[in-house]
Every structure is written in structure tokens, then in C-alpha cells.
Amino acid sequence: MNKPIISQTRFFSVLIHLLIWAAFIFIPLLFMETPEGRQRFLIFGWSIIVFMGGYFYLNYLFLIPRFLLKKKLIHYVIFLFAGLLIMSGLNILYSYIIHQYFIPNIHHHGLMHYSLTTIYPAILAFGLSTSIRITDEWFKNERQKKEMENEKLTSELAFLKSQVNPHFLFNILNNICSLARKKSDDTENAIIKLSQLMRYMMFESKDEKVSLEKEVEYLQNYIELQRMRISGKVEINFRVEGPVGQFMIEPMILIPFVENAFKHGISYIGDSGIDIVIKVMNKELNFTVENSIVNKAGENFHSETGVGLKNVMRRLELLYPGSHELSIDDHDLKYRVFLKIKF
């Protein structure tokens, strides 16, 4: 994908350079009213432009990348003045030969005049070449920094995503083991549900984005698996509102919150409940998960958020910077997560 972009950039760069030098050649001719002025420019003016071009590209293509960018300032200054002396000397020699041997009738200027006519173009060529090259290098460095940042973010996201799947899978396998120990008739159905979840995790979740409808279906399968292993005392409500099929979302971004609710919000002794609501309206996703806080032996609920929950928070920061809101709070023995994502 990068090669066509680079080729296109080089093409426009060469085109801009050609247009600039064409302007230096042809624009002065438009402002010369007499044939003698045009003749003098065609005889002597083009040598000044060639001198400018030579000094420009000597500095632009060789001196700046070889010395200035490598901070070899002494070498850069020496070669800069050496190039100026050589090229200006060739230009002065050309003008002198033309005057002496080919068109002696044209008024002859002194050596000082020819020297001055090379100083101003040299200053212009030096200023233009240095400013353009330094600007090009700045944009190049910024582009490389951005590419490195993107690669770093992509690698980090891939790592976080790879951590979600095993963490999630271990919990599901524990659920099925629990059903198998009870010799539950739901074991076979649970294995089928697990295969559907794994198919989504292995194939569809590899895409950068999936349909929100598929993500919701994935949550439904997970919730059905959880229903099979818990008692009837746990009230589970799952509600979906709005056009979920019209929007795309990063896969596996919602499941850690639901998983966390089942991990901390289920009691096998007393009453407990989990409420999950997905609303889509005005190109926004409002996702709410609320569960009872159940203190289990050996767990500190307030300090333990789990690998999956930490990962999804980081993923949200990387994937939806400035376009998501996440609030997590607990009060009155209720733990509530509210996530808003702007599509």
C-alpha cells in the first residue's frame, strides 16, 4: 500500500520542481518589452538559472543529507563555499567568453558586476534549497513517527485482543465442567453454544470491525451458557433496543463487562441479579451492565478488576479516543458499568 503513495508523492515533487524552474525561465521574458532585453536574457539569463539550479541541487541532494543532517557543520560550510566558488567561476567565465569572442558589440560589464550577479542567485538558491529540504525532512520524520505509533498501537491492540480470548475461554470451560459434574442435560447444548462462540472468536473477531448485531448475538450466546449453570434465584435481564444491524464495532469490546458481572454478581445462596441493556440511538451506543455485589471468600471486589476488564479499558482508549465515555461505580450493593460509544 505504501509504494503507490510514495511514487505519487515523488511524481508531484518532480512536477513542482519543473514548474518552479519553468517559471524562472519564462516569467522574466513576459516583462521584457524590447527585443534587445529578451536577447540579452536568452544569452546570459539562462546561465544564471543553470547556476542557480546547480547550486540548488548540490545543496538539496548532496550537502544537506550528507553533512548538515549528520551535524557535520564544518564540512557543510566548506563544501558549500567551494561549490559556490566553482559554479560562480564557471558562470563568470561563460559570460566573459561570450562578451569577448561572440558578441563583443554588447556593452561589457566588469568582473565585479558578474561576481555580484552570482551572489544574489546563490543566496536565493541556498535559501530555497535549505528551507525546502529541511521542511521535507520534517514531514518525513513526522510521517515516520506516526507510522511507528500506528504500528505500536496495532501491536498493542493485537496483544490485548489475544489476551481476551484465552481469559474468556477458560471461564466458559469452567462453566461446562460444572454442568458435566452435575450430569446436566444442558451439557450438550452448552458445547454447541461454545462452538458458536469459538467460531466467532477465531474467524469473525479477527476483523477490525464487525456488525454490532453479531456482537450482540455473541453476548446472547454467552448469557445462555451462563443461564445453564446458575440457579433460578439469579435474575438475568438482557434487553436490546435500536438498529443494532446498522453499525460496526470492534469485536470482543463488550464481553469483558458482561463476564465481570457474572463473575462478581452471582450468589448461589441468596438472591442476586444482572441487568444488561443495549440501546442504539442517534448514532450512539449506550451499554449498561448492573449486577449485585456478592462478596466471595478470598476476593476483594473493590481492588480486583480482572485481566479482561483492564484490557478492555485500554482498548477503548486506543480505539475510541475522545469518542467514548466509561463510568464504573458501586453503591447500595450494586455495581454499575455505563459505556457510551459514538459511531
> Do 195 and 68 reside in the same domain of the chain?
no
- Greater pLDDT, 75 or 92: 75
**What CA–CA distance (Å, rounded) separates 299 from 267?**
14
Query: Is 155's pLDDT higher than 80?
Result: no
What is the pLDDT, as a whole number, of residue 278?
97
Residue 318 CB neighbours (<10 A)? 14
According to the model, what pLDDT value does residue 164 have?
55
pLDDT recorded at residue 215:
92
Banded pLDDT at 301 (limits 50, 70, 90): very low
Q: Return the CATH number at 292.
A: 3.30.565.10
pLDDT-based confidence at residue 93 (cuts at 50, 70, 90): confident
Residues 142 and 216 placed together within one structural domain of the fold: no
**pTM beyond 0.75:** no
Look at the chain and count its residues. 343
Mean pLDDT, the chain, integer: 78
Residue ending a domain, among 101, 125, 147, is 147
Shared domain for 131 and 197, answered yes or no, is no
pLDDT tens digit sequence for 36-78? 656 666 666 667 777 788 888 888 888 998 898 888 889 989 9
Is the distance from CB of 217 to CB of 255 less than 8 angstroms? Answer: no
pLDDT reading at 111 higher than 60: no
Please give the single-letter amino acid code of residue 27.
Answer: I
Q: How far is CA 231 from the centre of its chain?
A: 47
Residue 254 lies in a domain: yes
**Any idea of the CA torsion for 165, 166, 171, 177, to the nearest 10 degrees?**
120
Decide if 47 contacts 93 (C-beta within 8 A). no
Query: In this predicted structure, what is the pLDDT of residue 291?
Result: 92
Residue 309 φ/ψ region, left for φ over 0, alpha for ψ in the -120 to 50 degree band, beta for the rest: alpha
Task: Say if 171 falls within a structural domain.
Answer: no
Q: Which has more confidence, 296 or 228?
A: 228
Q: What percent of the chain has pLDDT over 70?
A: 73
Same structural domain, 202 and 335? yes
Instruction: Tell me which residue range forms the domain holding 273.
Output: 184-342
Instruction: Mark whether 190 and 260 lie in a shared domain.
Output: yes
> What cell numbers appear for 313 in the block?
479499558
Query: Which residues does residue 339 pair with via DSSP β-bridges, in sequence order?
Result: 287, 326
* Per-residue confidence band for 298, with pLDDT thresholds at 50, 70 and 90: very low
Angstrom distance (rounded) from CA 229 to CA 184? 9
Question: What does the block give as the cell for 340?
Answer: 457510551
Report pLDDT for 40.
63
In our burial notation (b when 16+ CB lie closer than 10 A, e otherwise), range 20-49 reads: eeeebeeeeeeeeeeeeeeeebebbbebbb
- On whether residue 224 sits in a domain, the answer given is yes
- Distances 311 to 103, 130, 153, 255, 305 between C-alpha atoms, Å: 82, 47, 13, 11, 10
pLDDT reading at 297 higher than 50: no
pLDDT value of position 172: 73
Handedness of CA 228, 230, 233, 236 (dihedral sign): negative
Mean pLDDT of 216-220: 92
Please check whether residue 176 lies inside any domain of the structure.
no
pLDDT in tens, 314-334: 888 888 888 999 999 987 788
131 and 212 share one domain: no
Q: Residue 285 falls within a domain, yes or no?
A: yes
Give which of 276, 264, 250, 252 is closest to 305, Cα–Cα.
264
Which 8-state DSSP code applies to residue 107? Answer: P
Inter-residue contact 128 to 56 (CB < 8 Å): yes
Grid coordinates representing 178 are 460444572
Rounded to an integer, the average pLDDT of 163-171 is 63
Residue 186: predicted pLDDT: 79
Question: Is 268 found in the same domain as 142?
Answer: no
Stronger pLDDT, 199 or 246, i.e. the higher one: 246
- Number of domains making up the chain: 2
**Domain-located, residue 154:** no
293, part of any domain: yes
Residue 79 has pLDDT above 70, yes or no: yes
CA distance linking residue 77 with residue 91, whole number of Å: 21
Does residue 177 sit within a domain?
no
Pick 196 or 38 by higher pLDDT: 196
Give yes or no: residues 241 and 322 share one domain.
Answer: yes
Q: Measured on CA atoms in the order 67, 69, 73, 79, is the torsion positive or negative?
A: positive
Could you say which of 147, 173, 198 is where a domain stops? 147
Asked if residue 334 and residue 283 are part of one domain, the reply reads yes
Give yes or no: residues 214 and 74 share one domain.
Answer: no
The pLDDT tens digits of the residues spanning 82-91 come to 888 887 777 7
Same domain, residue pair 140 and 214: no
